[in-house]
Structure 1
C-alpha cells in the first residue's frame, strides 16, 4: 500500500509542477472481458486520470493512473488493478486519434493478485473538451491475461 501511495504522490507532484504546459483528463470506461478470463468475469469497469503534455504537433504524451475492476461471475471475486503507465495520443485528420498506454497494473484484489504488465492500444475521436474511444486492454499476470474490449470517455479539466 505504501508503494501505491508514494507512486500516486509522485505522479501528481510532477503533474502540478508542470501544470502550465499540460492538461488533466478524467475518464471512465466499460468493457467486455475476452480471452483467458471471459468465462470467469462479466464486465470491466474503471476510472482514469491522466496528465499529458503537447510534445509535438498532434502528439500528446504523459502519465496515467486510475482504477480498473473485472467483476466476477458466480461467486468469483472481483479483480482490481491500479494502472501506472505512460500514455500517448496522436491526433490524425478530422479529430480522430490513435493512442496507447504502457505500464504496470498494480494488483489490488483479490489476495495474491500481484499485477502485471499493462498495455492498452486505443482509437477514438477527440472533441474540444471530451473524447470517445475504443480500446483493447491487457494486463499480463502469472497464469494468464486479464483482457477486455472497452468503450471509454474522457474529459479535459
Structure 2
C-alpha cells in the first residue's frame, strides 16, 4: 500500500511539474516609439501584457491577452495641457512557431481608454520574433484606432513600433 501511495504521489508531482512547464501563461514588457498620429503628441510608449496561449497544434497557439499600454506625452505638448494617456487592451492572440525558433503572431481586440476625455478603439498588433524555451523576444507594430464621440476631441490612431520581451511561466 505504501508503494502505491508513493507511486501515486510521485506521478501527481510529475504531472504538476509538467503542467507548470507548459502552462501557456506569458508575461510581457514592451517599449516603443509612437508613429503616425500618436507621434504628434507622444514621445514614448511602454506597457505590460499577460497572455494565455493554448496549443492547438504542435506549432500553433491561440489564446487571450490583457495588458496596459502607456503613451508618454511630448514635453512641448505638456506645456499646452497635454497629458500622458493609456489603454487597456483586451484581445485574442495567436502565435505560429517555425522549426528554427522564429514565430509570427497577431493580436486583435479592443483597447479600453484608461484616460479621461479619450475613447477606446480597435486594437491590433502583428509581431514576429524569436521563441526560446522560457522566453520570447519580438518586434511589433501596434495600432489602436481611437474613435472619439467626445466634443472637441478628434479621432486618431495611437500606433507604435515596439520591442518586447515575454517570459513563459
TM-score by length of 1: 0.84
Q: Distance in 2 between matches of 1:130 and 1:57?
A: 17
> Which aligned segments of 4 or more residues in structure 1 are displaced greater than 6 angstroms?
none
Structure 1: 5+ residue stretches without partners: 1-18
Q: Rg larger in 1 or in 2?
A: 2
Q: Name the structure 2 match of 1:67.
A: 68
Distance in 2 (CA, whole Å) between partners of 1:29 and 1:80 is 14
Match of 1:154 in 2: 166
| Residues 22 and 54 in structure 1, CA contact (< 8 A), matched pair in contact too | no
Deviation string 1:98-139 (CA, Å, 9 cap, x unpaired) is 000000000011x12111000000000000000000000000
Question: Residue 94 of structure 1: SS of its match in structure 2?
Answer: coil
1:120 aligns with 2:122: no
Q: Distance in 2 between matches of 1:139 and 1:22?
A: 29
- Are 1:79 and 2:91 matched, yes or no? no
**1:41-94: CA deviations, max 9, x gaps?**
011100010011001120011000010001001212111000100000000131
Q: CA RMSD in A?
A: 1.4
Q: Distance in 2 between the 1:144 and 1:39 partners?
A: 10
- The structure in which a higher percent of residues are strand is 1
